[in-house]
Structure 1
């Protein structure tokens, strides 16, 4: 039985939201690349763990999802309160809402490439 890419992605999002770091390798390849740079699974895991430490109320909410056989595009919504600086901005616990547009490439049922763009301008507008 083949699992649909959209279902596999939702399992990945659930893995992030529950902070099930031991299971992350089920969804992400060992040589994963992020925004054009090969970072590997360990560094990818560390980056996600750091995000949850710095943003206690972090939750990934999928609002748009489009996919074909090996590529998936997702619009993620965030409504969060980072504890300090976020993206170089002095958020310091203020609640901010923004979106991330992210594309994933899959090979062998695992994420091997991620391209991410955050709406930093939306955050800046909320801080002014």
Structure 2
């Protein structure tokens, strides 16, 4: 397994284990998320908010392509939001959706995240 793939799988393990104190091992102190500047602290708080809204949130890697400084991944989710998620008030139903996400690495850590989630699919299921 390539080093970048191992790095990414460890990052996903960090998210799935809810061990967000380790996020600093994976992300730069400042990074961009969908073109907007953010800090590691804000990125962590966003992940915490997602976990609070979706207690059964689990990142399942469907497809993963890596090279030295770029990661492309399709993540699958099958979860039940309990409180507002991405501006949608849940109705108690399960949400099954995918995220296509691209990462750039700088000095061995994530410096940029580009994420695309099919919000219409989520709205139809839980909105």
Quote the residue 1:7 is aligned against. 6
- Note the residue ranges of structure 1 that are not aligned, 5 or more in a row: none
Counterpart of 2:103 in 1: which secondary structure?
strand
Q: Following superposition of structure 1 onto structure 2, how do residues 74-113 of structure 1 map, counting pairs within 5 Å?
A: 74-113=73-112
Whole-angstrom CA distance in 1 between matches of 2:116 and 2:30: 21
Query: How far does residue 94 in structure 1 lie from its aligned partner after superposition?
Result: 1.4
Query: How far does residue 67 in structure 1 lie from its aligned partner after superposition?
Result: 1.4
2:56 is the counterpart of 1:57: yes
Query: How far does residue 120 in structure 1 lie from its aligned partner after superposition?
Result: 1.1
Q: TM-score, normalised by structure 2?
A: 0.93
Quote the residue 1:43 is aligned against. 42
Quote the residue 1:25 is aligned against. 24
Counterpart of 1:85 in 2: which secondary structure?
coil
Conserved 8 A contact 2:91-2:126: no
- Runs of 4+ in structure 1 off by over 6 angstroms are none
- Note the residue ranges of structure 2 that are not aligned, 5 or more in a row: none
2:118 is the counterpart of 1:119: yes
Count matched residues: 126
Counterpart of 2:110 in 1: which secondary structure?
strand
Q: TM-score, normalised by structure 1?
A: 0.92
Q: Which whole-Å deviations, capped at 9, do the CAs of 1:38-73 have from their partners, x for residues lacking one?
A: 111000000001110110100011101011111100
